Amino acid sequence: MESSLITELFLPLSLAIIMLGMGLSLKLSDFHQIFKTPKAVFVGLIAQLVVLPFTGFALMHFWTIQPEYAVGIILLAACPGGPTSNLFAYLGKCDTALSISLTAVSSIITIFTIPFIVNLAMEIHLGKGQYVALPVLQTILQIMIITIIPVGLGMYLKSKKNNFAQKAERPVKIASTILIIVIILGAILKNKEIIAQAFLETGLPALSLNIITLLLGFLVAKLFQLNFKQSSTISIESGIQNGTLAIAIAASSTLLNNPAIAIPPAVYSILMFFTGGLAIAIYGKINKKNDA
């Protein structure tokens, strides 16, 4: 009962609050970035929507780990960037408007891509007939309810009640940060009997996905001749995934209902603060120098 309450109520509610906080910081004018620098947005979306899932599948093809953990890594790679990536982009003096645009657009597109990518991952790693397929329409609907609708509500409040939105933005962001920590710790504590072994099995693959996608995001951007600020932004957006959404999909009884699949995203969500912190320290120094 307690486990069901966490996965069916508190986890989706927490993610919805996190996305509401993101919406409170967004304005329609933020999306002008899509038209101002379409090339940067296009390259960023290619990095997030194509390069990341491909990297996840490739890593798990060559890495021998428990099948559920392999699915968890690929699920993570299929998720969009989250509000944390926007914070990291800001701290790294990257192109914050580009970061917000990429997060918002990829969050909409991945609603439709996640079910297909995850079903393919389960068929490859769990074997046909040994898994319950992720229901496509139900998954799309549930992800919309806990991501897009709260973001839209936050944007509506900002446009109609700006003073309230400005006052609420900071408390909601603080609450969001606390909720992210609670969700990750909850996923770990819920599986504490196997977490030590699971961390040993998933830590290196999760770290590898994180580092490789940070690097690939930057390299893809430079390949398309984007400037350093844009390239560092796409690197952050590629390497800092929405682990909270991945945990919610894996743990929900109406979706995957498989706590083991939630472990790699939980481990990743811890590790990304260290690698992301190092990345923004490097990017921040270079972007500050370039801006001077």
From the list 48, 71, 49, 68, the residue with the least C-alpha distance to 59 is 71
Is pLDDT of 4 > 70?
Answer: no
Segment 122-141 shows an average pLDDT of 72
User: Longest Cα pair distance anywhere in the chain, in angstroms?
Assistant: 59
Q: What is the pLDDT of residue 2?
A: 44
Q: What is the pLDDT of residue 132?
A: 58
Q: What is the pLDDT of residue 1?
A: 38
Pull the structure tokens for residue 234: 């796409």
pTM: 0.81
Is pLDDT of 187 > 70?
Answer: no
pLDDT category, 98, cuts 50, 70, 90?
Answer: confident
Total count of residues recorded for the chain: 292
Pull the structure tokens for residue 196: 């030590």
What architecture does CATH give domain 2-291? Answer: Up-down Bundle (1.20)
Lowest-confidence segment of 65-69, 98-102, 193-197 by average pLDDT = 193-197
Pull the structure tokens for residue 181: 């920590």
DSSP state of 131: S
Tens digits of per-residue pLDDT, 209-225?
999 999 999 999 999 99
Q: What is the mean pLDDT of the chain?
A: 81
Q: Judging by beta carbons within 10 Å of its beta carbon (0-12, 13-18, 19+), is residue 151 exposed, middle or buried?
A: buried
Please enumerate in sequence order all residues whose Cβ is within 8 A of that of 283, keeping only pairs 6 or more positions apart, or say none. 92, 93, 94, 232, 235, 236
The answer to whether the beta carbons of residues 236 and 175 sit under 8 Å apart is: no
Q: Judging by beta carbons within 10 Å of its beta carbon (0-12, 13-18, 19+), is residue 28 exposed, middle or buried?
A: exposed
Tens digits of per-residue pLDDT, 225-275?
999 999 999 999 999 888 878 887 887 766 777 878 888 988 888 888 889
Segment 163-171 shows an average pLDDT of 76
Segment 89-113 shows an average pLDDT of 83
pLDDT category, 9, cuts 50, 70, 90?
Answer: low
Sorted by where each begins, the domain ranges of the chain are: 2-291
Lowest-confidence segment of 108-112, 250-254, 277-281 by average pLDDT = 250-254
Segment 145-168 shows an average pLDDT of 79
Q: What is the pLDDT of residue 134?
A: 65
